[in-house]
Structure 1
Amino acid sequence: MGKKVKENMTRRDFMKKVGKAAAAVSVASAVPGLAKPARAAQRGYVLIGYTDPSTGPLAGLGAPTPWVNARVEKAIEKLGGVYIKEYGKKVPVKFKVVDTESSPTKAADVASRLILNDKIDLMLTMYTPDVVNPVSAVCERYQMPCIGVGCPIDPWVEGGPYQWSFEAHFSVDAITNVFIGMWDEIAAKTNKVIGVLFPNDADGIIWTKIFNKKLPAKGYKMVDPGRFPFGTRDFSAQIDMFKKEKVEILTAVLIAPDWATAWKQMHQQGFKPKIATIAKALLFPADMVALGGNLANGLTTEIWWSRYHPYKSSITGETPMELCNAWTKETGKQWNKPVGLTYGGYEMAYDVMKRAQTLDKAMIRDAIAKMDLMTLFGPIKFNEKHYCEIPLVGGQWVKGKDVPWDLEIVYNKNHPQIKKTAEMIFPLPY
């Protein structure tokens, strides 16, 4: 999801950069004359730091944050805050949102400042390994309890083991199961030949490995033209191979601009698969509009949250539909998946402080480990490796009634509690 750390940068190099960024902040905070914030026990409220991709290539994921932040802070205020034993009373809960600029180095820098300068009580970090992994690393360094949301499990686990950091999202195994599940439903109407577009990044490599293992066992043939870099402008070679091998099922894990380039060229060159199931690139309604014409019609993808989910806010009791209606009414924008996932991250942070009832970092960490919470995006309960997988279903973009494009739930076999809202359109309508 989003731009990656440079390919030639090893994990050791990256961790060195994280360490240098944190060390620089540590030195700066110790310079005489620089103002320091009061300690938590003196300020009269709980302070939760939130590293958010407000700008940069991941800014779409961070767009709902100001709205969600204001809504949750207001709701917590109505509840009177949380009881903290160091104060002997209920105190307000405040969130300090800082922009990571979608940069791993910047994410490490702002996380260090939140810990050393702002002296936060808990860290919340969201969206993609580019943001969540470096923040988790900084929190491990400074023994700061940290909740991560929206980073795929596989690349996050690689940065562990963790003592202070936790993560909630989906695994690559889960998303590939959803994709294959959707194909199984229409496989009899195809030749079961699948063409893949996997780039030369961490996602592309792990998806190739998993599909090479899973697809033959299910009777599918995989046609793989090989890895390619971000920003590829000509997919003619891949398209020629797909046509030659008679590919009828297409899948990819691409950023939105690269998918738009590939899909438009496929139409121009006469390659028309019966189904196209794409990860990562089909996140926002605006991305569907950007494809132009009817090119978004019938595209299938993963759904990690929707306005149709059957859960409720643990803070206010409102449903996903009610939250989305409020979002649209107050912002004039169509609902999108980050609205609910961001809200759920705030739910988790509030729940931890409400149960911990202390500013002691180890006890706050233990409260995260013992979390058993039903959030707006589903149940959260961390395992011994500090992660929790959220429910994942399959969706399809179709023409909307009041909006250009709407996302419907068309596959739910792994999570039947999340009801289907439409039957899958098959084959793709050209």
Structure 2
Amino acid sequence: MGEISDGRERVLTIGVAVARSGRLASLGDPLDFVTRLLEPTLSGLGPTGYRIRLAARDTRSSAAGARQAVRELARDEDAKIILTLAGTEVLPAVADACEALGVPCLSSTFPWQVYYYGRGADDAHPFDWTYHFCWGLDGIADTFADLWERADGGGQQAVGCLWNDGPQGTWSRHPQHGFAPTARARGHHLVDPEPYREPVTGLEGHISAFREAGTDIVTSAATGQDLGLFRAQAAGAGWQPRLITCSRWLAYPPSVSSTGRRPAQADVATLVYWTPSHPYRSSFDGTTTAELAEAYEQGTGRQWLQPLGLAYALFEVATHALTAAEDPADRRCVADTLGRTRLDTIAGPLDWTAGPVPNVATVALAGGQWQQGTRHDYELTVVTSGQVDQLPVGGDLITT
């Protein structure tokens, strides 16, 4: 398809592949909100002679829907770059479709090792069109090790691993690129029973293995449903871990059910990559993290979400690439510009020239815990600032 024009100026389209239906629809809320929030602003931020427009397509929470969304954005909308967030199957499908079609893609909220090695790249054969920014499995392990050591005054721990047989568990165990080697390098002993299949119906075997190993700290990448089952069955067996760390689904706030039952995530510690307290600003207009969080809560009536900051940064980086590219209408020029990008964003400083591998920039992590709050039922409390300079700590780690 030829370049879009509105008769007065040429138009550059940023495509957005976002879940608006299906099981991941709620995970699409941050990207959908930011798309609508920034659409008026971006129209005036294009390179000289161009106007930026946004076009979105629903991935329908599936790999097939993701591929269809990319085809429509590339063919019908002439997108010069496509953005996406979230989904163990959906995000790689978007990126792979862009790679196949020769369309620049920028994504986030997916550990970079799974994005890079899991899609078949290696140091000798990086991707041509697809770019990413996120934390890594090694960063999660270091963050969680900080929390385990804080729970025990600095000692090394035996840690029970509640890991499934899917990508989350498989990559957590990976001997070179996963969570496990970093945790073990910190001196911690991992107790890893047979992996379970989602959705799990019983975790008694894991509970028995953890008790027999004498561990009272558990780490996981479980869904909220499976984590809730684990905690209920552990309590029924008369056992309760002193601390649970979990990386999956924990970006989204828990809430008290209509029966008053505590949510599965209550007092669970997790990774922190973005909060209203992070010392970052928008490269567009200086909007602070606190102002973005407030805009979301005022606009939706819902509690702010960690992925908001990364969703916003997708548009910052995409706009920078279109503006800095020698020919913003040429997808190859846009992709090459992404690979040279260094930008301070509302999600923090992002640098694609620094690695850790080609086409990837990293996001700094801190440690947090879902604790009972004042404005909301449960709030993400920063308990260790980790790698994030000038991030205030909001409370102490709670153990049982």
Compute the TM-score of the two structures, normalised by the length of structure 2: 0.89
Question: For residue 405 of structure 1, what is the aligned residue in structure 2?
Answer: 378
- Equivalent AA in structure 2 for residue 83 of structure 1: P
The corresponding residue for 2:330 is 360
Cα drift, residue 229 of structure 1: 0.2
Contact 2:254 2:263 in 1 (8 A): no
RMSD: 2.2
Q: What's 1:193 paired with?
A: 158
Q: Which residue of 2 aligns with 1:70?
A: 36
Q: Residues 313-349 of structure 1: CA distance to partner in whole angstroms, max 9, x if unpaired?
A: 1112111111111211222111111222211111111
Report the alpha carbon displacement of residue 418 of structure 1 after superposing the two structures with TM.
Answer: 2.5
1:289-300 to structure 2, matched below 5 A, reads 292-293=261-262, 296-300=265-269
Residue 60 of structure 1: how far off its partner (Å): 2.0
Q: Which residue does 1:374 correspond to in 2? A: 344
Shift of 1:413: 2.9
Distance 1:299 1:331 in 2: 26
Say which one has the larger Rg: 1
Task: Identify the residue that residue 11 of structure 2 maps to in structure 1.
Answer: 45
1:223 maps to: 191
Amino acid at match of 1:52: V
Task: Show the counterpart of 1:22.
Answer: none
- The answer to whether the 8 Å contact 2:159/2:219 transfers is yes
Shift of 1:232: 0.7
Q: Structure 1 stretches (4+) deviating beyond 6 angstroms?
A: none
Structure 2 residue aligned with 1:323 = 292
Provide the rounded CA distance (Å) in 2 between the counterparts of 1:305 and 1:403. 18
Amino acid at match of 1:146: C
Q: After TM superposition, give the deviation of residue 202 of structure 1 in Å.
A: 1.8
CA distance in 1, matches of 2:337, 2:147: 38
Deviation at 1:125, TM superposition (A): 2.0
1-structure distance, mates of 2:189, 2:135: 26
Q: Deviations over 1:266-290 (max 9, x none)?
A: 2222211111111103221136759
Report the structure, 1 or 2, having the larger helix content.
1
What is the match of residue 146 of structure 2?
A: 181
Q: CA deviation at 1:41?
A: 5.0
Equivalent position of 1:61 in the other structure? 27
Deviations 1:192-240 (A, max 9, x none): 2211101001220221244553444434332222101001111112112
Partner of 1:147: helix, strand, or coil?
strand
CA distance in 1, matches of 2:315, 2:75: 22
Q: Which runs of 5+ in 2 are unaligned?
A: none
Q: Structure 1 pair 93/298, CA: closer, same or farther in 2 (3 Å)? A: same
Q: In the alignment, what sits opposite 1:124?
A: 83
Q: Cα gap change, 1:248/1:50 in structure 2, threshold over 3 Å: closer, same or farther?
A: same
Q: Tell me how far apart the structure 1 counterparts of residues 167 and 153 of structure 2 sit (CA, whole Å).
A: 32
The 1:139–1:107 alpha-carbon spacing in structure 2 relative to 1, beyond 3 Å, is: same
Pick aligned residue for 2:209 from 238, 241, 252: 241
Partner of 1:110: 69
Contact residue 259 and residue 281 of structure 1 kept, 8 A: no
Give the direction of change, closer, same or farther, for the CA distance of 1:310–1:57 in structure 2 (3 Å limit).
same
Partner of 2:71, secondary structure, is helix
Identity %: 24
User: Shift in Å at residue 169 of structure 1?
Assistant: 0.9
The whole-number CA distance in structure 2 between the counterparts of 1:423 and 1:183 is 13
Q: State the AA in 2 paired with 1:50.
A: V
Alignment-derived partner of residue 154 in structure 1: 113
Residues 57-102 of structure 1: CA distance to partner in whole angstroms, max 9, x if unpaired?
222221133321122112234xx33124xxxx2x331111111112
Unaligned runs of 5+ in 1: 1-36
Q: Does 1:232 align with 2:200?
A: yes
Judged with a 3 Å threshold, the aligned counterparts in structure 2 of structure 1 residues 278 and 289 are, in CA distance, closer, same or farther, namely farther
